[in-house]
Amino acid sequence: MANVIRTIDLFAGAGGLSHGFELAGRGYEPVFAVEIDDAAARTFKRNFGCEVYTGDIEMVEDFREGEVIIGGPPCQGFSPLGRNRDDESRAQLNELWQQYLRAVHEVKPKAFVIENVPEFQRSAQFAELLHLMESDPLLKEYSFGYGVLHAADYGVPQSRRRGIFMAVRGVDEVPWPPPPTHGPESPGERPYATVRDVIANLPAKPKADEIGWDGERQDLHLRRNPRPMSLERYKAIPEGGNRFDLARNRPDLLPDCWRNKPTGTTDVMGRLWWDRPSVTIRTEFYKPEKGRYLHPVADRPITHREAARLQSFPDEFVFEGSKIEVARQIGNAVPPLLGKAIAEHVHRVAFPDHGSKNGDE
């Protein structure tokens, strides 16, 4: 147990952030998680085996002991995609981060990490967090760093930006950001991981209709059954194209809602590029009308397996729930490789003299 760093994951989802901490190989071990969504909680339990409280974090009476608290309070209150919420529900969502701080006060970890959408760091709630870090008797013991990290800079084959706040108790400073491993700021300017890198070896024509098993691995490479008109629309869109290519190539197939709106997002009904990171994978990646989710060359949207790989989940990671529930877990997750980079940074700053499972430090 001497080399174990116990982690507590709040608002844990499927466990992308916890899996990233595991991938770091620094001795991190989940001991407790809180997740309100039943399917996501079952996924976390299946993959990590620790105690999971399934329900509202406000109902947790006491948290387990641990050295690191991680987690991402629900982001819809800050995200542009959540702007249609009423003021009361938005306020309730935004205040959930205070439950996170309740856990910090109870557990008094060596370090904690808050993950959220970039908008959180421009919110009144974040300004209040910064005030508390300077005025609260316990929180004043923590140095902190924060900013927006680009997942592609850390090996994720996806353009996805997340706001990360990292605090460590008993150190003079928290250097920021974590050193990039890919892209122009990385050592040797290592190229970004691309769509081709992670999904090119999957069959162009999936065969499964439902989540099942292919030998010892979960089969998430699921086909859909588009209407003939939808299939014709897909065929009219080239690699990297979008609904505007559809308008040029097959105006007869253009829906009136797009015909009457000649401007707007270029990602709708978009096709991915092979040799670039993907766009941000969201919860409805299986609907091309929601974004740039068409396969680079196959006339279909990306599958659950492809989306999971673009989020940097390994095929061995098992998801629980229906197809819609699994898609939601994939789209809401912190990419594990981004989590790994954060975990390594936490280890460098908070546990510099701590051993690792790999015995390399």
Q: Which residues are catalytic?
A: 75
Burial of 14 (0-12, 13-18, 19+ CB in 10 A): buried
Phi, psi angle pair for 63, to nearest 5°: -95, 155
Q: How far apart are the first and last CA of the chain?
A: 17
Best CA proximity match to 37, nearest among 356, 286, 283:
283
Structure tokens of 183?
A: 């892209």
Query: What are the backbone dihedrals phi and psi of residue 242, each rounded to the nearest 5 degrees, phi first?
Result: -160, -165
Chain position carrying tokens 């196959």: 298
Q: How far apart are CA 213 and CA 215, in angstroms?
A: 6
3-state class percentages of the chain: helix first, strand second, coil last, to nearest 5: 35, 15, 45
Q: Which two tokens stand for residue 172?
A: 């003079």
By the 10 Å C-beta count (0-12 exposed, 13-18 middle, 19+ buried), 78 is classed as: buried
Q: Parallel, antiparallel, or unpaired: how do β-strands 217-219 and 212-214 relate?
A: antiparallel
- 8 Å CB contact between 12 and 326: no
Burial 175-209 (b: 16+ CB within 10 A, else e): eebbebbbbeebeeeeebbbbebbbeebeeebebe
62, burial (CB in 10 Å: exposed 0-12, middle 13-18, buried 19+) = exposed
Strands 51-54 and 28-35: parallel
Strand partners, 235: none
**Residue 279 near residue 263 (C-beta atoms within 8 A):** no
